[in-house]
Every structure is written in C-alpha cells, then in structure tokens.
C-alpha cells in the first residue's frame, strides 16, 4: 500500500493507494465517529466495513442525477438516521459519487467529515483529490458546489479491473496530462509509463496534491491542472462525438502541444512525446471527423476558466503555464489539425 499525504495550509490528510485500500477505512475514519452514512451507486460492486452503525444510500447513475435534488435527498436521509457533524459520510464510487456526497457532507450541519473511497481511475487521479465538490444545474455542469477537503481518500486499484473499458480509458486521458506537469511542482523525473499502475496513480495523486496544497482555492497554479481541457471541454460541449471526458482531454492535449509548438514554446520532439504518451494509453489524438472549427473556437473563448480572450495551459521552457493566445493562432493550429485528421482518414 502506498501512502501519499496531501499537505494543506492548515492540515494534511492521507491518501492510501493500492489493491484492497477500501479495507483500511476503519483506520482513517476521524476519531469519535458514532455513525457512518455510506453513499454509493448500484453498479459499484465495492462494499466497505465499518465498526459503528451505518446506513448505505444508493444514488442513481448519470449526470442528470448529479443534482441539488439528490443532494437534498441525501441530507434528509442523513438527518433521518441521526447523523451529526461529529459523524462521517463515506463516498464509495467515481467522481459523480464523491462530488455529490462530498457536497452533501460540506453543507450537512454546516460541514460533516467525508472520506472518499474512489473506485474509478478518473476519480483516483483527479476527482477524489483536492476538495472540489458539487452538483449540476440545468444551466450547466458543476455550477454549484463547495471546497470541502476529505478527511482521507482510499484509492482501491483492485476495483479498477471491474470498470467498463471506456471508463478506464477516460481515466487514462486524465492521467496522460500528469506526464507533462511534474516540472512545475518539483516532482522527480520518472518515466511514468514504466511504473506499475498503483505507483502511477500515486504519482498523479502526489502531483495533484502538491498543486492543490499550493493553491487550495484555484487562484493560479491550480489552472495547470486544466492542461488539455480547453479544447477538451469545447469538444464535450459541442457534443455529438460520443467522447468520454478523458478522451476529449487527450485530443486537447495533442492540440495544446501543437499550439505550443506553433508559438515556439516547445519543439517537435516534445510534441512527439505527447503523441507517444497518448498512444501508450491508446487514446484518440485527432479531431473527430465533422468538427465545426468555428464552433469550437467560440466555445473555447467561453470556457469558464478563460477570463477574456483565449487562455490555455501550455507547455514551454518553464513547464506548463497559463498563457493568453490570439484567436488567429488558435484557429490556424485547429485548421491544420483538422486537415491532418482528414488526410489520415483518407489513407488506405
Ligand atoms: N471534483 C473534482 O475535482 C472533479 C474532477 C474531475 C471530474 N469530476 C467529476 O467526476 C465525474 C466523473 O467521474 P467518473 O469518470 O469517475 O465517472 P462516474 O463517477 O460517473 O463513474 C462512471 C461509471 O462507472 C461506474 N463505476 C464506478 N466505479 C466502478 C467500478 N469500480 N466498477 C464498475 N463500475 C464502476 C459508475 O457507477 C458509473 O456508471 C463528473 O461528474 C465530473 O464532473 C470532479
Ligand atoms: Zn478533467
């Protein structure tokens, strides 16, 4: 079992990574807890054991259930079981469950501890780490939420074998971005591809932990975690492409590398390194056929992390950093990328 500590300004918490990590729950529950509310989904086979009375609440699948109505339902159920601020919520699931249960915990009795037992690859390297929780509104995804750091996180890599293959691949898209972010936070220079899965997950957790520790509330550095996400989000919103989040991010990473090369920030070898990592994970790299480039540029300009103009996390001599880019450069690189995708498709 690998233990990574996330160091925040005023406290720290453990993340345990490895096969069977879920069985360590009792050890990481806050002291004095008298009841536990477990939140999970029916498709998640994982059960957890606790040594105090507990109730399990099963939430629906899919983003439409990631709603304030579900949060209210959970809080009412917590109340009915007599949960107090001195007890604990335990989220067992992927990002959807940890986001929702984390948000319910953040507001229940003005803040009740939560432990995340993360069961998806995307959850383990991203959603369960860093304290962002939330729900969707009909107007958009993750528009309400709170920063609420967990008391501990358990990343049980044994559960990943049961993941539907596309969910696993979506997680690798998120993992791919971490291959390029280590420099900024002084991570040791390692060939991530050569590490066993649990060590690779631990590297991503440690890296995200360092970024979050330095910027808990997304004031600056945390934006580098958005690497590959500007085009990724635009592809997801433009829709109709049947892309999972991590797959869209993978295409976004390739685009970000090409844009950085176009701007003279990185050389062709570094672009090739991006392609090599994406191939290693068998992720898509090129724009989906039929992409409406004008629509993508318009959507990128609207990305909630862009404050005026087009903002990208881009690789460069000082590592990945957030830079403003002219729309004309973005369009030129997107167009060249689209031409390449078409050419690639026409090859026999
Ligand atoms: N808080 C953050 O910082 C953050 C970061 C990234 C994403 N997110 C959020 O995370 C969500 C996506 O998370 P996700 O990719 O983990 O998807 P998810 O939680 O929706 O899970 C995907 C599917 O896999 C199933 N599943 C989960 N674990 C399983 C297992 N071990 N075996 C079999 N099936 C299993 C789920 O029930 C679900 O049907 C989105 O709502 C997104 O907004 C949050
Ligand atoms: Zn992401």
Q: Render pLDDT for 112-168 as a digit per residue (tens, 0 to 9).
A: 999 999 999 999 999 999 999 999 999 888 999 999 999 999 999 999 999 999 999
Rounded Cα distance, 72 and 90, in Å: 17
Give the whole-angstrom CA distance, residue 186 versus residue 318: 12
Cα–Cα distance, 20 to 274 (Å, whole number)? 32
Which of 343 and 258 is assigned the larger pLDDT? 258
81-111: pLDDT as tens digits: 999 999 999 999 999 999 999 999 999 999 9
* 132 carries an active-site annotation: yes
Compute, in angstroms, the gap from residue 32 CA to the centroid of ligand 2. 35
Q: Is 122 exposed, middle or buried (0-12, 13-18, 19+ CB in 10 A)?
A: buried
Comparing C-alpha atoms, which of 69, 139, 83 is closest to residue 111?
83
SS3 category, 218: coil
Task: Say whether pLDDT at 1 is over 60.
Answer: yes
Ligand 1 pocket test: pick from 40, 67, 118, 120 the residue with the most ligand atoms within 8 Å of its Cβ.
120
Give the closest ligand to the alpha carbon of residue 142.
Answer: 1
Three-class secondary structure of residue 257 per DSSP: helix
- Known active-site residue 233: yes
Q: What is the largest CA-CA distance in the chain?
A: 66
pLDDT in tens, 209-254: 999 998 877 778 999 999 999 999 999 999 888 899 999 999 999 9
d(CA 147, CA 218): 10
Per-residue pLDDT of 39-75, as tens digits, reads 999 999 899 999 999 999 999 999 999 999 999 999 9
Q: Is the model's pLDDT at 309 over the cut of 70?
A: no
Q: Report which of residues 285 and 141 the model is more confident about.
A: 285
| Sequence-separated (6 or more) residues with CB below 8 Å from residue 154 | 15, 16, 21, 22, 24, 25, 28, 115, 116, 117, 118
Q: What whole-number distance in Å separates Cα of residue 103 and Cα of residue 114?
A: 9
Query: Catalytic annotation on 110?
Result: yes
Q: Which of 24, 206, 223, 226 is catalytic?
A: 226
Query: Could you give the CA distance from residue 10 to residue 142 in angstroms, rounded to a whole number?
Result: 26
Residues with CB under 6 A from ligand 1: 41, 43-44, 61, 66, 93-97, 99, 119-120, 122-123, 126-127, 130, 132, 141-142, 159, 162-163, 167, 170
- Residue 88: strand, helix, or coil: strand
What pLDDT, on the 0 to 100 scale, is given for residue 303? 58
Answer left, alpha or beta for residue 131, where phi above 0 means left and psi between -120 and 50 means alpha.
left
Identify whether 34 is a catalytic site residue: no
pLDDT confidence of residue 269: 98
Residue 321 designated active-site: no
Task: Give the Å distance between the CA of 315 and the centre of ligand 2.
Answer: 17
Q: Sorting pLDDT into bands at 50, 70 and 90, what band is 274?
A: very high
Name which residue leads in pLDDT, 188 or 79: 79
Q: Residue whose CA is closest, atom 5 of ligand 1? A: 127
Q: Whose CA is nearest to atom 26 of ligand 1?
A: 44
Instruction: State in Å: Cα 265 to ligand 1 middle.
Output: 34
The percentage of residues in the chain with a pLDDT greater than 70, rounded to a whole number, is: 97
Active site residue 142: no
Atom of ligand 1 nearest to the CA of 134: 1
Which listed residue (208, 210, 244, 265) is catalytic?
A: 208
Q: What separation in Å is there between the alpha carbon of 142 and the centre of ligand 1?
A: 14
Active site residue 229: yes
Q: How many CA atoms lie within 13 A of 282 on its CB side?
A: 4
Residue of the nearest CA to atom 9 in ligand 1?
95
pLDDT band at 346 (very low <50, low <70, confident <90, very high): confident
Provide the phi-psi class of 228: left if phi over 0, else alpha when psi is between -120 and 50, else beta.
left
Strand order in the sheet with 54-59: 2-7, 12-18, 152-156, 114-118, 88-93, 36-41, 54-59
Is 218 one of the catalytic residues? yes
At how many degrees (to 10) do helices 327-346 and 293-302 cross? 140
Which atom belonging to ligand 1 lies closest to the Cα atom of 159? 31
The two tokens of residue 136 are 């969707």
Q: How far apart are CA 128 and CA 95, in angstroms?
A: 7
Mean pLDDT of the chain: 94
CA atoms within 13 A on the CB side of 115: 27
Both tokens of 184, joined, read 């900024």
Check residue 348 and give its pLDDT.
58
For residue 40, CA distances in Å to 2, 102, 129 come to 24, 12, 18
- Whole-model pTM: value is 0.95
């Amino acid at each position: 079992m690998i233990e990574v500590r996330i160091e925040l300004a005023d406290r720290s918490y453990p993340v345990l990574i490895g096969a069977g990590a879920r069985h360590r729950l009792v050890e990481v529950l806050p002291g004095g807890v008298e009841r536990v509310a477990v939140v999970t989904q029916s498709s998640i086979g994982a059960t957890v054991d606790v040594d105090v009375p507990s109730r399990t609440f099963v939430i629906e699948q899919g983003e439409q259930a990631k709603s304030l109505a579900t949060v209210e339902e959970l809080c009412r159920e917590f109340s009915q079981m007599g949960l107090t601020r001195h007890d604990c919520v335990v989220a067992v699931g992927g990002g959807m469950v940890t986001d929702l249960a984390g948000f319910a915990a953040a507001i229940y009795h003005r803040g009740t501890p939560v432990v995340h037992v993360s069961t998806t690859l995307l959850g383990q390297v991203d959603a369960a780490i860093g304290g962002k929780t939330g729900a969707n509104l009909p107007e958009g995804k993750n528009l309400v939420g709170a920063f609420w750091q967990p008391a501990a996180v358990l990343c049980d890599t044994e559960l990943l074998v049961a993941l539907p293959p596309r969910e696993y691949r979506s997680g690798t898209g998120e993992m791919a971005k971490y291959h390029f972010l280590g420099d900024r936070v002084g991570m040791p220079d390692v060939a991530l591809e050569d590490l066993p899965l649990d060590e690779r997950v631990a590297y991503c957790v440690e890296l995200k932990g360092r970024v979050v520790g330095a910027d808990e509330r997304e004031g600056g550095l945390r934006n580098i975690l958005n690497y590959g996400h500007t085009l990724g989000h635009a592809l997801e919103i433009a829709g109709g492409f049947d892309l999972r989040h991590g797959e869209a991010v993978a295409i976004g990473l390739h685009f970000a590398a090409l844009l950085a090369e176009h701007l003279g920030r990185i050389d062709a070898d570094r672009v090739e390194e991006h392609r090599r990592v994406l191939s290693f994970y068998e992720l898509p790299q090129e724009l989906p056929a039929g992409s409406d480039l004008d629509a993508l540029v318009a959507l990128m300009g609207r990305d909630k992390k862009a404050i005026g103009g087009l903002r990208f996390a881009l690789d460069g001599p000082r590592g990945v950093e957030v830079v403003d880019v002219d729309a004309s450069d973005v369009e030129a690189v997107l167009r060249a990328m689209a031409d390449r995708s078409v050419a690639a498709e026409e090859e026999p």
